[in-house]
Amino acid sequence: MDLIDDPAEGLNSPEFTVTEISGAIKRVIEGEFGHVRIRGEVGRVSRPRSGHIYLDLKDDKSVISGVIWKGVSARLETQPEEGMEVVATGRVTTFGGQSKYQIVIEDIKPAGMGALMALLEKRKKMLAEEGLFDPARKRPLPYLPEVIGVVTSPSGAVIRDILHRLRDRFPRKVLIWPVAVQGAKCAPEVARAIAGFNALTPGGAVPRPDLLIVARGGGSVEDLWGFNEEIVARAAAASEIPLISAVGHETDTTLIDFVSDKRAPTPTAAAELAVPVRHELAAWLDGQEARMAQLVSQGLSMRGQRLRDMGRALPRAETLLDGPRQRLDRAAEKLEPALIAGVQRRRVRLADVSGSLRPATLRQRLANDRRRLESIALRLAPALGRGVAAKRDRYDSRAKAFRPAALERDRLAKAQAFEKLVARLSEAGQRQTRGWRDRLEGLERLRETLSYKSTLARGYAVVRGDGAVVTDTRAAKKAAVLEIEFADGRLTVGGKPAAVRKKTPEVPPEQGSLL
């Protein structure tokens, strides 16, 4: 045996801490896979409050975790959604806290047209189920809006086409909200523009539009993708102002076309839908004015002809006045003789009346009336004195009746009468109570006298057999057991065994047998 043992295999290898080995693995992986592009299907997607996006990229055999930092997610043109096939560009690294590797994504795009169309169909189906495409919620466009709001790029040909078309058809006030019409900023800016127009106060410093136009020129699906975003579709659906979508060419279709109140194939067509042609409207108004003047003229002519026809059916005015004029003449002829006759009748009546109103007659009547008045005056003073004396006597007699001493005597007399009445009532009650008690005691003595118990006390007995009262010897012989009741108790007599019998009630002496 050697004095010094050979070291065991592996005991001389260096020792690493967990952090050191985790850092070494991180450097190896990041050095080998510094910048990669991975194609796969988006699995689980998590968006915490921090603003970062955590997701899984998977195929039919493997899964790799991914993270998109907050600053990068805000710049992405396409936001990842579960089930979406994408191509992610980034760097592979490790996360030592959980011993896992992941890809830090710097850019993510759909993996071809098929993925974009599948995502578009998924969003379209979701919004349709919520009722955002329902025709019943679409509002009619105003016939002639005063102010038109346009959401588009201010530097493109689209706004020039819209303004030129509006100027040719019917000039209106136009408010332009500049936005990006493609790229990552397109969807949030368009949504904010629609909400901003709706937030304006009617009649304010900046007038609120009566109609909105969201417009963009043609392009590829990727260029128009901002108008397929959910925030744009929901902003258009929530707009209280009627909205026309004019995105792309006639063959291009985006989600905003389904939720808008009206879809225009081109931006120029949107301007044509927004306002009518001024010359055509003026010509239509001229035609309506001519028609109205013609109808008024025809109406006046018809009413004039009808008035003339009715006038021919009426008699002449002179004929209508002949009868009343003749009645007036006859009344005038009768008026003068009637007035004369009336005056004469009133003159005769006045003469008759005035004959009885001679001065001597009036003086005689006055003298008679004066004498009658004097005689009445002579009788009036004694009569008044007698009346006053009679009333004074009556008052004195009544006053005597209301003196305190008389009232006190009357009160004492009535109190004594009341006490006598109370004493009589108490005595009568006591007599009636004694009579009732005597009667009750007599009835009790009669009950004791008639009761069969007193008869038993004189030496008699009640015999019962088999629960019934025995009244003769034949019934007593047939009974198995006899029960004899005496004044001080009952006695059972019989040689046969006692039979089970029902308890019988106590029999009064009128129904029992007394021995």
pLDDT in tens, 104-159: 898 888 776 566 677 778 888 888 888 888 888 889 999 889 999 999 998 888 89
CB 212 within 8 A of CB 147: no
Other CB atoms within 10 A of residue 158 CB: 24
Q: Is 508 exposed, middle or buried (0-12, 13-18, 19+ CB in 10 A)?
A: exposed
In whole angstroms, what separates CA 285 from the centre of its chain? 47
Determine the pLDDT at residue 218.
Answer: 82
* Cross-strand pairs, 215: 246
Q: Is 362 exposed, middle or buried (0-12, 13-18, 19+ CB in 10 A)?
A: exposed
Other CB atoms within 10 A of residue 237 CB: 23
Q: What is the amino acid identity at position 362?
A: L
Round to whole Å and give the CA distance between 439 and 233.
Answer: 110
User: Alpha-carbon torsion 331, 334, 338, 339, what sign?
Assistant: positive
Rg value, the chain, Cα? 66
Q: Please give the span between the terminal C-alpha atoms of the chain, in angstroms, as a whole number.
A: 141
- Compute the C-alpha angle 137/140/146, nearest 5°: 135
Q: What is the pLDDT of residues 51-108, one digit of tens each?
A: 899 998 888 778 888 999 888 888 887 788 877 788 888 888 888 777 788 888 988 8
Tell me, yes or no, if the pTM score tops 0.85: no
Query: Domain locations in the chain?
Result: 18-112, 121-133+145-276, 278-312, 452-506
Secondary structure class of 39 (helix, strand, coil): strand
**Tokens representing residue 105 in the block:** 């994504």
Round to whole Å and give the CA distance between 256 and 213.
Answer: 11
Determine the pLDDT at residue 8.
Answer: 56
Determine the pLDDT at residue 469.
Answer: 84
Q: What is the DSSP letter of 177?
A: E
Q: Is 399 exposed, middle or buried (0-12, 13-18, 19+ CB in 10 A)?
A: exposed
- Compute the C-alpha angle 499/505/507, nearest 5°: 110
Q: For the chain, give me the number of helices (H) and strands (E)?
A: 14, 14
Round to whole Å and give the CA distance between 27 and 21.
Answer: 10
Round to whole Å and give the CA distance between 377 and 371.
Answer: 10
Round to whole Å and give the CA distance between 254 and 246.
Answer: 10
CATH topology for 18-112? OB fold (Dihydrolipoamide Acetyltransferase, E2P) (2.40.50)
Round to whole Å and give the CA distance between 22 and 203.
Answer: 66
Round to whole Å and give the CA distance between 258 and 23.
Answer: 53
* Cross-strand pairs, 326: none
The CATH code of the domain at 121-133+145-276 is 3.40.50.2300
- Compute the C-alpha angle 82/86/92, nearest 5°: 100
CB 513 within 8 A of CB 475: no
pLDDT of the chain, 515 residues: tens digit per residue: 444 455 555 556 677 788 888 888 888 877 777 788 888 888 888 888 888 999 988 887 788 889 998 888 888 877 888 777 888 888 888 887 777 888 889 888 877 656 667 777 888 888 888 888 888 888 999 988 999 999 999 888 889 989 998 998 888 899 999 999 888 888 899 999 999 999 998 888 889 999 999 999 887 777 788 888 889 999 999 999 999 999 988 777 888 889 999 999 889 999 999 998 888 888 888 888 889 999 999 999 999 899 888 878 777 777 777 788 888 888 888 888 889 999 999 888 888 777 767 777 778 888 888 888 888 888 888 888 888 888 888 888 777 766 777 778 888 888 899 999 999 998 998 999 999 999 999 888 888 777 777 777 777 888 888 778 888 888 888 888 888 888 788 888 875 444 434 434 454 544 444 54
Other CB atoms within 10 A of residue 334 CB: 9
